[in-house]
Amino acid sequence: MSNEVRDPLLPDRNFISSLQSLADSLQNRVKIEEACDRVVVDCNGLLAERKESKTGGNRTAKKKVVEKISGSNTRTINHHCKRYVALKIMYFGKRFYGFASEAQMDPTIESEIFSAFEKTRLLVGDKKELQYSRCGRTDKGVSSVGQVIALLLRSSLKETDASNENSEEIVFKEQHEQEIDYVGVLNRVLPDDIRVLGWCPVPVGFSARFSCLSREYKYFFWRENLNFLAMEEAGKKFLGEHDFRNFCKMDAVNVHNYKRNITLFEICPSDVRYDGNQLLAFKIKGSAFLWHQVRCMVAVLLMIGQGLESPDVIDTLLDTEKTPRKPQYTMAPELPLVLHSCEFESIKFICSADAGLALRMHLANQCRNYQLQAAIFNDALLSCLPISSGQRSLKGTSKKKASHVPLMSRPTEPSYEERRLKLNFKTFSLSKSS
Give pLDDT tens digits for 117-161: 999 999 987 777 899 999 999 999 999 999 999 999 999 887 454
Residues 6+ apart with CB under 8 A from 291: 248, 249, 250, 251, 255
- The confidence band for 399, taking pLDDT boundaries of 50, 70 and 90, is low
Q: Are residues 227 and 295 in the same domain?
A: yes
- Which pLDDT value is given to residue 42? 54
Q: Are residues 230 and 173 in the same domain?
A: no
Q: Are residues 171 and 274 in the same domain?
A: no
- Which pLDDT value is given to residue 224? 93
Lowest mean pLDDT among 2-16, 59-73, 302-316: 59-73
Residue 265 belongs to what domain range? Answer: 214-343
Residue 17 domain-assigned (yes or no): no
Q: Are residues 189 and 100 in the same domain?
A: yes
Q: Tell me the C-alpha distance between 139 and 334, whole Å.
A: 8
Q: Are residues 136 and 220 in the same domain?
A: no
What pTM value is reported for the model?
0.77
Q: Are residues 246 and 273 in the same domain?
A: yes
Among residues 139, 275, 312, 354, the one annotated as catalytic is: 139
Residue 393 domain-assigned (yes or no): no
Q: Are residues 185 and 71 in the same domain?
A: yes
Tell me, what CATH number does 336's domain have?
3.30.70.660
139 is catalytic: yes
Residue 91 domain-assigned (yes or no): yes
Helices 293-305/228-236 angle, 10° precision: 140
- Which pLDDT value is given to residue 15? 56
Q: Which residues in 244-328 belong to E strands, given as ranges?
A: 259-274, 277-286
Instruction: List the one residue out of 125, 39, 122 whose CA is nearest residue 78.
Output: 125
Give pLDDT tens digits for 183-195: 999 999 999 999 9
Tell me, what CATH number does 109's domain have?
3.30.70.580
Residue 160 domain-assigned (yes or no): yes
- Whether the pLDDT of residue 257 is over 60: the answer is yes
Q: Determine whether 14 is exposed, middle or buried from the number of CB atoms within 10 Å of its CB (0-12, 13-18, 19+).
A: exposed
Q: Decide which of 173, 201, 229 is a domain's last residue.
A: 201
Domains held by the chain: number: 2
Q: Are residues 276 and 162 in the same domain?
A: no
- Which pLDDT value is given to residue 107? 94
- The confidence band for 32, taking pLDDT boundaries of 50, 70 and 90, is low
